[in-house]
A and B are shown apart, each in its own frame.
Chain A
Amino acid sequence: MQENYLAKWLSGELSEAELSEFKKSDAYASYNKLKKVSGTMEAPEFNADQAFQKLMDERIGAAPKVVALHPFKKFLRVAAAIAILLTGSYFYVNTLDESVTTALAERTEVVLPDNSEILLNADSRISYSEKNWDEERNVALKGEAFFKVAKGKKFTVSTNHGTVAVLGTQFNVENREDFFEVTCFEGLVSVTYNNTETQLPAGSSFVVIDGQIMDAPKPNTTQPTWVNNESSFERIPLEFVLNELERQFNIKVKTQNVDKNLLFTGTFSNTDLNMALKSISTPSRMNYKLEGDNVLFYAEKTP
């Protein structure tokens, strides 16, 4: 008798010979009865139409309910997206340079990773990479700043006018529109302007106004005067003096019948506006009117 012959018998797959042999066996009657009775069995009631109606009404028709079953999944998806954005921006921000900016009429002091100090004058901005500081001491400058550089590797100040490189010293860099001035107070400073390098020993200045390298006077102080709340000028066109006045007091300066190319030598206070206005107007033979944040300089009437 072949394998699984009972199954074959039930499905009518036994050969004639096998079937007659099986029929002769004692168990055949029992199996036949089992086949007969089991053929009359029934499973519990199942109403397909009712079940379909239920399916459509409660589950598929009401589709939003199905969505609402997984609010946490949706939340997780959003949370994951936010987490990725946060980590991404954290790493992005981390690679950005450090930067310090001063507003008009504001000054601030910055201590660099190697304890070099920077005094930042009004309306100026420096930026540097804290991460790469050990490899490269480089500060980008817009505006004016006084540097006290700790001894060490080459220290460079990049401006849009030129580059200033030093080893360890004290110097001032002013980088304004059409105005570039480097003054060395201690040590040796190397200024690269238009691809020409100039060595600047202590107590000397390098000035460029409107693209013209000027014959610069020697400073007689150990620090730029603005560090002590004064702005000093020696043979500087009035235009740049007035620009500095605007920056120090956050005011608007206008002129009337005034030659702004006149050279100005003198000092004005960075703390007392009235004093400063007098300091500028008297030697230049001008009058001024102060209204709120606006100052008008006008030529003295000829007697």
Chain B
Amino acid sequence: MDNVCEEQVFSSVFKANSKTVFNYIYYKFGNEEKAHDAVQEAFVKLWENCAKVVPEKAKSYLYTVANNLYLNVLKAEKVRLKYAAPTLEHSNESPEFLMEEQQYKEKLDKALNDLPENQRTTFLLNRIDGKKYAEIAEMEGVSVKAIEKRMHLALKTLREQIDGI
């Protein structure tokens, strides 16, 4: 069986998961520097305990370590996300439309920052990283239903914030 202690396996686990670990911590706390540190710390821990962690459990192990690292220590900062550059099609739109788009994104950003941390993390992991609810549930260590609830509430709150309801 594959062992995380083998550098080949460890390296592939890193390539497959480091970006998501980074995003996961970033969505939670909005601190880029800490997210970079979390990746380092989580993988050092995984390497040190490589004999005890089977490859299938490596993923959830990483999220647990990364999460515990800043639990109750780090206060959430503002999450600043980038948006895809407007395509050529969009650039043909009227200036009014572009301005509306810009305003919409600003509202979305603000609404995201105002979300509870667990709803924001769930929403962004799904929307940006394309994670399925089941995967997010595993990362957060909760049921799929709980994630669906968070997602539902996130969408509801975001829409209310943006539409000013």
A41:B149 contact, CB within 8 angstroms:
no
Query: Whole-angstrom distance from the CB of B99 to the nearest CB of chain A?
Result: 15
Stretch in A49-57, A118-126, A148-156 touching the partner: A49-57
Residues A40 and B149 in contact in the complex (CB < 8 Å), given A51-B36, A66-B44: no
B84:A40 contact, CB within 8 angstroms:
yes
Taken residue by residue from 1 to 35, chain A's Cβ proximity to chain B (1 for < 8 Å, 0 otherwise) reads as 00111111011000000000000000100110110
Query: Whole-angstrom distance from the CB of B88 to the nearest CB of chain A?
Result: 15
Quick check: is B32 within 8 A (CB to CB) of the other chain? Answer: yes
Quick check: is A291 within 8 A (CB to CB) of the other chain? Answer: no
Residues of A within 8 A of B108 (CB): 34, 37-38
Residues A42 and B83 in contact in the complex (CB < 8 Å), given A7-B149, A8-B148, A10-B151: yes
A55:B14 contact, CB within 8 angstroms:
yes
Quick check: is A303 within 8 A (CB to CB) of the other chain? Answer: no
Stretch in B52-60, B69-77, B154-162 touching the partner: B154-162
Residues A4 and B158 in contact in the complex (CB < 8 Å), given A11-B132, A34-B108, A54-B40: no
Q: Report the contact-size class of chain B (Cβ under 8 Å from the partner).
A: 35 or more
On chain A, the number of residues with a Cβ less than 8 Å from chain B's Cβ atoms is 31
Quick check: is A235 within 8 A (CB to CB) of the other chain? Answer: no
B162:A30 contact, CB within 8 angstroms:
yes
Residues A7 and B158 in contact in the complex (CB < 8 Å), given A30-B163, A43-B128: no
Query: Whole-angstrom distance from the CB of A21 to the nearest CB of chain B?
Result: 16
Residues A44 and B82 in contact in the complex (CB < 8 Å), given A4-B149, A51-B18, A55-B43: yes
Query: Whole-angstrom distance from the CB of A76 to the nearest CB of chain B?
Result: 19
Give the residues from 129 to 144 in chain B that come closer than 8 angstroms, CB to CB, to chain A.
Answer: 129, 132-133
> Nearest residue in A to B122 (C-beta to C-beta)?
A7
Identify the B interface with A (CB < 8 A): 11, 14-15, 18-19, 22-23, 26-27, 32, 35-36, 39-40, 43-44, 47-48, 80-84, 104-105, 108, 123-124, 126-129, 132-133, 145, 147-149, 151-152, 155-156, 158-159, 162-163
A-B contact pairs, 24 of them (CB 8 A): A4-B149, A7-B148, A7-B152, A10-B155, A11-B133, A33-B104, A34-B155, A34-B158, A37-B83, A37-B105, A38-B108, A38-B127, A42-B82, A42-B83, A43-B81, A43-B82, A43-B128, A44-B32, A46-B19, A46-B35, A48-B18, A51-B18, A55-B44, A66-B48
Those 10 A-B pairs whose CB atoms lie nearest each other, nearest first: A7-B151, A40-B84, A4-B152, A6-B155, A7-B148, A4-B148, A38-B127, A42-B82, A7-B152, A6-B152
Identify the A interface with B (CB < 8 A): 3-8, 10-11, 27, 30-31, 33-34, 37-44, 46, 48, 51-52, 54-55, 58-60, 66
